[in-house]
Amino acid sequence: MSTFCTVCNGMDMLSAVCPHCGSGSASDCGRVNDYFGPYSPYRPIEEISMTNGYPDVTRSECLHMLYCEACGASSVLAVPESCT
């Protein structure tokens, strides 16, 4: 069974509350895996997910980087993936 992220595929918008200050202005900065190196966005998603240090593969989650405009903090949010 294959899974996909509805946020990455443009089916849903990600709106999140900042876990640091509680502000509702945390914006989605894309997949965490894209920040691991200059060629990360071009590598297969499954390949990076197996070595990124998060349990996202076993939980069928897509990890997104959040940035809060209010306090300047960055955090990671796990988005549940949908089945095809």
Do 62 and 14 contact (CB within 8 A), yes or no?
no
Q: What is the predicted pLDDT for the residue at 1? A: 63
Count CB-CB contacts under 10 A for residue 8.
Answer: 17
CB 47 within 8 A of CB 30: no
Each residue's pLDDT tens digit, 47-84? 777 766 677 777 788 889 999 989 999 999 989 888 87
